[in-house]
Amino acid sequence: MIIAILGAGPAGMSCANACLSFGLTPVVIERGDHLGGAQRSNFHPNLWMLGFPGETGEAMTQRLAEHYRALPVLTYYRTQVSGVMRRAAGFHLALSGLDTPLQANAIVLATGTRPRGTPEFGQLAATCERVIIGPLSHAIRDDIRGAKVLILGGGDNALDHALFLAERGNHAVICTRAGLSARRPFIESCLLHREIDLRTNCPVPRLSCGDDHVVANWPGRERAFDWVLVMYGYLPNTHVLKSFDPAIRPALTESGHLRVDAWQRSSVPGIYAAGDVTESPQPSVQTAMAQGLTAARALEKDLSSS
């Protein structure tokens, strides 16, 4: 039984590994160049991974990828699904760059999330390297020293990055439109740090880029920054569903995540989802890996009874 798994982050890799142990044949389709997903560039230690104290997301990704590469799993990189139709008991997947479609008995969506921007900031970031959408860019880790940084957003990532930057000799202004959604320890640490200026009820500024700075304009006020980080949270990567025949597009939750049951089954028989593309009270590597395993178990159970 062939299982097409979309995405080679923790959820997809774990699902592929578990499929093998349940006697299924996984084929993984990854749109990027690399294994590992969101954690690949995380330079912070993963505090939730019991058993590997101090291990960063980057190091953890290497550990998982090393195991994954040793598995007999066919993995297509730089490949995307361009069409999915139901065929007999399974699915027919057209893949970008491949002449022969993949015939699979079932599909697992493990496509994760992407940082949320706004169309305006997205356009600016495409031409101005000093505007960064989302966390964990190498510029944040390596290049930002002794700088004035504007951070838009009030969640954990916004405040965590402010602390990271302030500890490295930068001055951070956090501007959040409403209240703060970050956890209390982040808020308390930011309030205590003299290099962090925390502003709630701060309107979204208009941004314009110069050669080596970004000007932020608020009504009646403007200020130049060396960098602007946009930390507006994440959106699930469900755009791949546009390539699915409308009759087999799984239902989404109100927040736009894939709706699944406790077995990671979507609303469409034969289609499953795991990891951050589904709604979870606590997204994490462990959660994603456990959901990948659960999906594989559901596949074994469902396919053996069909």
Ligand X SMILES: Cc1cc2nc3c(=O)[nH]c(=O)nc-3n(C[C@H](O)[C@H](O)[C@H](O)COP(=O)(O)OP(=O)(O)OC[C@H]3O[C@@H](n4cnc5c(N)ncnc54)[C@H](O)[C@@H]3O)c2cc1C
Closer residue to ligand X (CB): 84 or 150:
84
The β-bridge relationship of strands 81-87 and 90-95 is: antiparallel
Closer residue to ligand X (CB): 153 or 270:
153
Which of 150, 182, 260, 285 is the binder for ligand X (CB under 6 A)?
285
Tokens, residue 254 = 């109100």
User: Could you tell me how many residues of this chain bind ligand X (CB under 6 A)?
Assistant: 35
CB of 29 to ligand X, least distance (A): 5
Buried b (16+ CB within 10 A) or exposed e, 268-290: bebbbbbbbbbbeeebbbebbbb
Contact string (CB under 6 A) for ligand X, positions 18-57, x = contact: -----------xxxx----xxx--x---xxx---------
Closer residue to ligand X (CB): 75 or 105:
75
Contact string (CB under 6 A) for ligand X, positions 172-211, x = contact: ----------------------------------------
Which of 1, 3, 8, 158 is the binder for ligand X (CB under 6 A)?
8
Residues 227-246 touching ligand X, rule: CB under 6 A, are 237, 240
* Residue 80 lies near ligand X (rule: CB under 6 A): yes
Closer residue to ligand X (CB): 31 or 141:
31
Inter-CA distances, 240 with 89, 93, 187, 235, Å:
22, 12, 36, 13
CB of 306 to ligand X, least distance (A): 26
* Residue 154 lies near ligand X (rule: CB under 6 A): no
CB of 302 to ligand X, least distance (A): 21
Closer residue to ligand X (CB): 106 or 240:
240
* Residue 122 lies near ligand X (rule: CB under 6 A): no
CB of 63 to ligand X, least distance (A): 13
Contact string (CB under 6 A) for ligand X, positions 86-115, x = contact: ------------------------xxxx--
Contact 263, 298 (CB under 8 A): yes
Stretch that binds ligand X, among 117-125, 177-185, 215-223, 283-291 (CB under 6 A): 283-291
* 107 bridge partner residues: 4, 271
Closer residue to ligand X (CB): 10 or 90:
10
Closer residue to ligand X (CB): 30 or 195:
30
Contact residues for ligand X, defined by CB under 6 A: 6-12, 29-32, 37-39, 42, 46-48, 80, 110-113, 135-136, 157, 237, 240, 275-276, 283-286, 288
